[in-house]
Amino acid sequence: MRRLILAIPFALTLASCATSPTGRTQFMLVPPDVAINESRLAYAQTLEELTGSGRMLHDPALSERAGRITGRLVAAAVRTWPHTAGWEWSVALIDDPEMVNAWCMAGGRMAIYSGLVSKLDLSDDELAQVMGHEIAHAVANHSAEQMSLAIVQGLAVAAVGIETGNRDKANAADMLATVALSLPNSRGAEYEADQLGMELAHRAGYEPAAAVTLWNKMRAEGGSPGALQFLSTHPNPENRAARLAAQAERLRNQPPAQPPNSYPVRIHP
């Protein structure tokens, strides 16, 4: 039985390898289209819950700023990855002054928590680096990758449950696919999002060095509960600032990018 369980991930990996935009090999049992559809449903449910609890943020200034910055980032993303032109690009502004967080689901559905901007006092360049990083997770199909890994883990858990007659373990397999969207990204996926996100922000006309000041602010804020929520899904190794600084220097040696025309991004509310 143990040999069978260990063989499941190996066998599926042989049949389900994909390549990320940086050339990294990915395990992709779940097709990106499935991840996009699941994210669409999760986003709609999230917006419904936020609206019902009165946590959607009505802030015209932040709405304009978020639309302008993400509009340029999305324009650069669509230029680089044309298939994303069909995504439903949007940003939900969430009223939570203690939460330092932002995300982008598969398919381009984003969120910005008010605490991210206010507690870190972000410049436009720094906010562009945050959202460039999050958009990079989406274009690199990291949600599909997480869901795929969760399903394989679930198969192993279910196999043990079926073999031992433990229905709790067998039922846990179904839960893993559901929670995959909120699992922390691997270190490899984080490095990839750092690289792609900074390149994306640079192509959108934003300052690469802002990625370094951003993560220094994030580390300084790391002791607060809201910041810990963000860092729990975004591993922050000690050498991250050095890696970001090296990449920023390489990008700054390139000709400055011409900011693209803003792409239409829907802002909620």
Mean pLDDT split into 10-residue runs, the chain, 269 residues: 45 63 80 90 94 97 98 97 96 96 95 96 97 96 83 55 48 45 67 94 96 90 62 64 91 84 94
The residue annotated as part of the active site, out of 38, 126, 134, 145, is: 134
Q: Is 48 a catalytic residue?
A: no
For residue 160, the one-letter residue type is V
Chain-centre distance for alpha carbon 163: 36
Euclidean distance between CA atoms 230 and 215, whole angstroms: 12
Residue of 126, 131, 140 lying closest to 112 (CA atoms) = 131
| pLDDT, position 223 | 57
The DSSP 8-state label assigned to residue 176 in this structure reads: H
107 token code pair:
């398919």
Domain boundaries along the sequence of the chain: 2-28+143-181, 36-102+110-138+182-268
3-state secondary structure (DSSP) of residue 238: coil
Residue of 129, 71, 64 lying closest to 93 (CA atoms) = 64
